[in-house]
Each structure stands twice: as C-alpha cells, then as structure tokens.
Chain A
Amino acid sequence: MGGAASSDTAAILPIRGEGLTVDRGGRRILDALDVEIGGRGTLVLMGPNGAGKSVLVRVLAGLVRPTAGRVTWAGAPPDRRRAPRLGFVFQRPVHLRRSALANVTYALAVAGIPKPQRVKQAHAALARGRIAHLAQAPARVLSGGEQQLLSLARALATEPEILFLDEPTSALDPAATTAIEVLLAEVRAQGVGIVLITHDLGQARRLADEVAFLHRGRLVERTPRDQFLAQPRSPEAQAFVRGEIVL
C-alpha cells in the first residue's frame, strides 16, 4: 500500500480495558471486565446474544463511554486523531450516499492523506477488496456482500494496526462469507490484528488464533482456538460449543 495513513499518527496498541462496566436501561451489559488486545493474530469474541460482545468492541473503539473503568490506546485515552489506526466493520454496513470510491477517499481525507494520493490509495484499497470494478457504483446499490467488502476496504485503506469486526458475515451467503474470510486471512498475514465477533463456530475454527468467551458481561474464558474448541474450561463455553442454548 502506498504511504501510511499518517506516518505521524501515534500507535494505538495495545488496547486495554480495565474494570469496564456498562449499564444501560437498568441492565448491566459489561461487568468490571478486564481485557487487553495486543494486536497479534485473530482474536474471536464469542458468547450468546446479550453477552456484551458488541458493546465491548464499541467501548474499546472509543464509541461507547463505559459507566465505570477505562480504556487506553497505547497507554493513553482514545482520541479522534488516532481513530484511523483502528478499523471497524459493523454488522450492517453504513455507507455515505456516494460512490464506492468516494466512500474510501472520504475515509482517507479524514485520516489526513494529502489529496493527490487519495484516489490512488482508494483504488488500491478497492482492488485489495476485489471490488475495483465497482469503484464508480453508488455504494448503496451494491449487494450485501459487496457492501461489506467495501466496508472492509474502507477500514483497511487507512492502514490500521487493528481491525474490529462485529459479525461481518452474519447476513451474508456462503460465497460472500468466503470472500470476507479470504480477505481477513490476507490481512492477518500482513500483520494487522483482528478482533472478530461471531456466533459461527466454523468461522472461529477457520480464522481464530484465540477465542475469548463472554457471558453476562464477563470474560469467562480466553484460550487458544484449538483448546477452546476441544476442551473449553468454563461450563458456559462448554455448553456453547456443544450447541446447547446458553442464557
């Protein structure tokens, strides 16, 4: 990729959450949770609905302010200046009412990339996402899979140190899911850290280096993938892996 997002942008790794508690509507979503994201390999977050996975990644990304506890990026509180160093792909892609190319150039402009380099870098990002041929298409007419690839291309365009993905393939067919997974494997091989939320044990098997299991706002287990899939330690994770309903 040509040129870093901003060579003077400070690093954000490791990302640490200490004593993270989030209360919403009288409910405790995260409960004094401690976590550290070092940024190597792929960490898959699993757990039943309502376990707090989505809220946790939003808190770590600086999108949600915790009720208690604190988040640090490389030892300092999250700040807008370093945001381009953290890529985020949502479950439902949100795109500006512009072309695919313009969506990526917008992200590059925000990241401080000089104007002459933006279009070239944006084309490179779209090519990386295998959607170069869709550069001029309005982003919102793309298929679900193409929109998610565009989200990923946009997130990667600013050359993040870490990529957070909140169930990026939950609404996609197997072909689109494969396209996303292939790209994620490439990204991982290039040294970008990945934090992926999924309910799909098969996807965890294919992509994870580590699995963290959340239950009722607590991190009950964080183990290497093979150990998690073969012999999870916590009763909740054991039930989850067996396919039982975990409440």
Chain B
Amino acid sequence: MHDFASAIAEAFRLIAALDGNLAEIVLLSLRVSISATCLAALLGFPIGALIAMANFPGRGLAILMINALMGLPPVVVGLIVYVMLSNAGPMGGFGLLYSPAAMIIAQTVLITPIIAALSRQTIEDLRHEYDEQLRVLGVGPLRAVPTLIWDGRFSLATALLAGFGRASAEVGAVIIVGGNINHVTRVMTTAIALETSKGDLALALGLGLILLTIAVMINALVLGLRVTATRTAYA
C-alpha cells in the first residue's frame, strides 16, 4: 500500500516537473494518434458519405463490413500491417517498420472503419430526413453531400473524437509495428505496459494519469458538442 502511494506521488511529481522522458512519450503519442485521426478522417468521411449517398450493388454488404470492422482487434491490425511493412511484404521497400509512420498506418487502419461507419450513419439519417425537401428545392446528390456534412457537423466531430479516443488508447497494434523502441516508437500505452512489467509503477502511473486525462477530455468534448448542438437546436 505504501509502495502504491509513493508511486502515485512520484507519478504526480513527474508530471509536475514536466519530466523529459515522460513528455517525449506523451508528445509522440499525440503526434501518432492525431496524425492517424487526420488520415482516417480523410479516408473515413468520404467512404461514409459514399455509402450513405450512393445506391450500388452490395451496399448492404458494405455497411455490414464497415460496421463489423469497427470491432477490429488491434493485434490483428498490427499483425496485418506488420506483414505488409516487413521486408517480405509488399510495402517492405519503404522501410517503415518500427517507425512512428508504421504506428500511424496501423492506427489509421484501426480507426478508419469507426469514422466511416459513424459518419455513414449520421449522413444517412440526415439524408432520409432531408431527402424530399432537398429534392423539391432542386438539390442534386452532389450538392446534397456538403449540405448533409455541414448539418451533421456536430455528430461527425463526435465520430472524429471517437476515432481519436480509440487510437490514443490502443496498444496491441502499435507495439507490434512500432516495437516500443525507447526514444523512437515508445508511446504512452506501450510504455505503460513495459514499465508495469519492469515494476516502475511511477512512470506507468504518470502516463496512465495523462492517458486518463486525455480520455476524460475527449468525453468532455463529446458532451460539450452534444450540449452545444442541443442548445442551439442544430442537433
């Protein structure tokens, strides 16, 4: 109990002192997860919009797949990206394995279905609601897309935050493709796993507290978006 209390105290001291090692890990984590979220948004929003707006053979299957992929196990994603980026893989020539870029790719693969599925649902719901009104105004499908995206902006922002939350809390994929190399690919989640196994609870707890704070901030942002949307009747 005493060890635990002192570990907590040390964790707070590391955070308060802006410990260099801890800061490096936190900044790399944010860089990787924010980059992955941006890339996933670039892929996921158009995919979601396309499935929501277009009628094509196999659309039901596409929705089924994208919803199923929301639950992709991170270690499986890590394994697949590892195979792709390894020397024997089709992207081996890029030499990305065990680099932050590999971790960004893995997290992008992991959260793109989340952003695509949630944005598909948002845009499709709005499309059903607006369909007759937009058509009677003379709005075609191409013009409808930016309208639906703008009017669904609060829900789409929530989808983005959900993706970032999943990316920043993920450990299985980044440890496989990043290798948890100190000063190179060590992020919060992999560092927590390592430091806990080494018995260095202070650093693990410090990182855990920061990770927890980020999770709380994301949820606060989601709640804030919902409250704002409801208050302004744009929800």
Binding site for B on A (CB under 8 A): 58, 61-63, 80-84, 86, 88, 90, 94-98, 106-107, 110-111, 138-141
Query: Which residue of the partner chain, among B132, B151, B232, B234, contacts A90 with CB atoms under 8 Å?
Result: B132
For the complex, what is the distance from the CA of A151 to the CA of B135, rounded to whole Å? 14
- Mask for B25-68, Cβ within 8 A of A = 1, else 0? 00000000000000000000000000000000000000000000
Interface presence of B138 (CB below 8 A): yes
Q: Are B232 and A138 in contact (CB under 8 A)?
A: yes
Q: Are B232 and A80 in contact (CB under 8 A)?
A: no
- Mask for B157-200, Cβ within 8 A of A = 1, else 0? 00000000000000000000000000000000000000000000
Q: Are A138 and B233 in contact (CB under 8 A)?
A: yes
Binding site for A on B (CB under 8 A): 129-130, 132-133, 135-140, 143, 147, 151, 232-235
Instruction: Decide if the interface of chain B is mainly helix, strand, loop or mixed.
Output: helix
Q: Are A80 and B138 in contact (CB under 8 A)?
A: yes
Q: Are A140 and B137 in contact (CB under 8 A)?
A: no
For the complex, what is the distance from the CA of A63 to the CA of B140, rounded to whole Å? 12
What chain A residues lie within 8 Å of B136 (beta carbons)? 61, 63, 83, 86, 88
Q: Are A138 and B234 in contact (CB under 8 A)?
A: yes
What chain A residues lie within 8 Å of B130 (beta carbons)? 94, 96
What chain B residues lie within 8 Å of A98 (beta carbons)? 151, 234
Give chain B nearest CB distance to A113 CB in angstroms.
12
Query: Which residue of the partner chain, among B129, B143, B233, contacts A141 with CB atoms under 8 Å?
Result: B233
Q: Are A96 and B232 in contact (CB under 8 A)?
A: no
For the complex, what is the distance from the CA of A139 to the CA of B235, rounded to whole Å? 11
